[in-house]
């Protein structure tokens, strides 16, 4: 009995310590599409947290290695990729804010990781579905001590404009309950009680997203989409309420666009994407340097995520790369960006010494001890 409580607490404490104030970066390599290019893969080697790229002459022939918290090779399954994300889901229920991003050039597998392939099966479900399903599972486990309320929002940011994706079909009407975002914008907030609700809403969101896309231009690759989950837990004995929030973000394609080759709408889109992705990079590096001023206000994306980046929040970035030779330029710049983000971890890890953090953790452990003892 008591032994198990201690063991559980130790595990939880380590997990929370591990994630606290950190930005974790996981790299995922998509399999070659149309297998015959396999021999041409630029990925030379994958080992634990290191990926080595074979760079062709144009980029300085040789091998370059990059280090991350984890690297998933082309054969990693959706379940394997999600497994390391689970502690984050638990901490949303503990009242933390969490942000999970998918970064990478168009076609590198961001949507595959977050949502899954077009012909979705239970096995191929991505992080979004698995996260929500875990959330309901964990909430159910705690139902004797805590009563949880879960609500979701889905929005798209395109050219610095926010679009509510949970508008009801045909009528073009929003859900009656609107919820303020971090800026002067509102989006439908929908209460959900099961995975059936979530799947319905995600289908609606995906349909709404497609409506905005023209036949020629797949707009989804040039807009950020964000599924936000708000969790509220009420302690059944003390009545105390804790709130957690999770943003699941499928970012716009990170590829650089050749300015000499595009004009008009395409150029405008590219500039907006550049602006928001570099604003994100700036926020992350200023958090790393512990600057007093963090430039959240430079883009809609960073404004939206303000409460979930830095401070007590936990951030995970899935960085995606394509293995093909013709993508190697983008692959290298993606990996360099990601490495810059990953080094933040070293700086932020020192946040552990923050006494208020430790106090929070101790309180949390004390509460869990009580909860566990009650169960036995």
Contact positions vs ligand ADP (CB under 6 A) = 30-31, 33, 104, 106-112, 117, 221, 320
Which of Mg ion, ligand ADP, none has residue 108 at its interface (CB below 5 to 8 Å by kind)?
ligand ADP
Query: How far apart are CB 229 and ligand ADP at their closest, in Å?
Result: 20
Would you say 32 and 74 are in contact if contact means Cβ atoms under 8 Å apart? yes
Nearer to Mg ion, 110 or 209 (CB): 110
Q: How far apart are CA 69 and CA 65, in angstroms?
A: 13
Would you say 270 and 257 are in contact if contact means Cβ atoms under 8 Å apart? yes
Would you say 95 and 246 are in contact if contact means Cβ atoms under 8 Å apart? no
Which of ligand ADP, Mg ion, none has residue 56 at its interface (CB below 5 to 8 Å by kind)?
none
Lookup result for tokens 């992080």 = 127
Nearer to ligand ADP, 116 or 244 (CB): 116
Q: Element (H or E) spanning 273, and its range?
A: helix 264-288
Interaction of residue 108 with Mg ion, rule CB under 5 A = no
Interaction of residue 128 with Mg ion, rule CB under 5 A = no
Task: Pick out residues in 265-294 that bind Mg ion (CB under 5 A).
Answer: none
Interaction of residue 115 with Mg ion, rule CB under 5 A = no
Q: 140: buried, middle or exposed (CB in 10 Å: 19+, 13-18, 0-12)?
A: exposed
Interaction of residue 223 with Mg ion, rule CB under 5 A = no
Which of Mg ion, ligand ADP, none has residue 323 at its interface (CB below 5 to 8 Å by kind)?
none
Q: How far apart are CA 275 and CA 263, in angstroms?
A: 17
Which of Mg ion, ligand ADP, none has residue 180 at its interface (CB below 5 to 8 Å by kind)?
none
Lookup result for tokens 């960073």 = 302
Interaction of residue 78 with Mg ion, rule CB under 5 A = no
Nearer to ligand ADP, 122 or 376 (CB): 122
Q: How far apart are CA 43 and CA 322, in angstroms?
A: 9
Nearer to ligand ADP, 109 or 244 (CB): 109
In sequence order, the β-bridge partners of residue 336 are none
Q: Beta 314-321 vs 23-29: how paired, if at all?
A: parallel
Which of Mg ion, ligand ADP, none has residue 222 at its interface (CB below 5 to 8 Å by kind)?
none
Q: How far apart are CA 280 and CA 103, in angstroms?
A: 11
Nearer to Mg ion, 124 or 312 (CB): 124
Residue from the set 91, 111, 302, 308 that interacts with Mg ion by CB under 5 A: 111
Q: How many Cα neighbours within 13 Å face the side chain of 302?
A: 22
Nearer to ligand ADP, 112 or 224 (CB): 112
- Interacting residues toward Mg ion by CB under 5 A: 110-111
């Amino acid at each position: 009995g008591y032994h198990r409580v201690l063991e559980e607490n130790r595990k939880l404490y380590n997990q929370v310590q591990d994630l606290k104030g950190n930005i974790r970066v996981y790299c995922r390599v998509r399999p070659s599409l149309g297998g015959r290019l396999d021999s041409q893969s630029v990925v030379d080697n994958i080992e634990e947290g290191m990926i080595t790229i074979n760079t062709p002459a144009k980029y300085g022939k040789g091998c370059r290695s990059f280090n991350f918290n984890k690297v998933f090779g082309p054969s990693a399954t959706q379940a394997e990729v999600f497994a390391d994300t689970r502690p984050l889901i638990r901490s949303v229920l503990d009242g933390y804010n969490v942000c999970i991003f998918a970064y990478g050039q168009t076609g590198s597998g961001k949507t595959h990781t977050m949502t899954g392939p077009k012909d979705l099966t239970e096995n191929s479900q991505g992080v979004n579905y698995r996260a929500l399903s875990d959330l309901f599972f964990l909430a159910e486990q705690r139902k004797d001590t805590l009563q949880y309320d879960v609500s979701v929002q889905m929005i798209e940011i395109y050219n610095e404009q926010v679009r509510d994706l949970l508008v009801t079909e045909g009528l073009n009407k929003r859900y009656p309950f609107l919820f303020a975002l971090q800026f002067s914008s509102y989006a439908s907030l929908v209460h959900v009680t099961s995975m059936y609700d979530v799947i319905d809403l995600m289908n609606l969101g995906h349909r709404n997203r497609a409506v905005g896309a023209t036949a020629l231009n797949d707009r989804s690759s040039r807009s950020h989409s964000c599924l936000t989950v708000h969790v509220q837990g009420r302690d059944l004995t003390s009545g105390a309420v804790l709130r957690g929030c999770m943003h699941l973000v499928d970012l716009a394609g990170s590829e650089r666009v050749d300015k000499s080759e595009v004009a008009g709408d395409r150029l405008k889109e590219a500039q907006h994407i550049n602006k928001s992705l570099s604003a994100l990079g700036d926020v992350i590096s200023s958090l790393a340097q512990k600057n007093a001023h963090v430039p959240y206000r430079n883009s809609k994306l960073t404004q939206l995520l303000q409460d979930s980046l830095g401070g007590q929040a936990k951030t995970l970035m899935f960085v995606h790369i394509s293995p093909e030779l013709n993508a190697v330029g983008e692959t290298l710049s993606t990996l360099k960006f990601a490495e810059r983000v990953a080094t933040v971890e070293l700086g932020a890890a020192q946040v552990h010494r923050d006494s208020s953090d430790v106090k929070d953790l101790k309180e949390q452990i004390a509460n869990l001890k009580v909860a566990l003892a009650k169960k036995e």
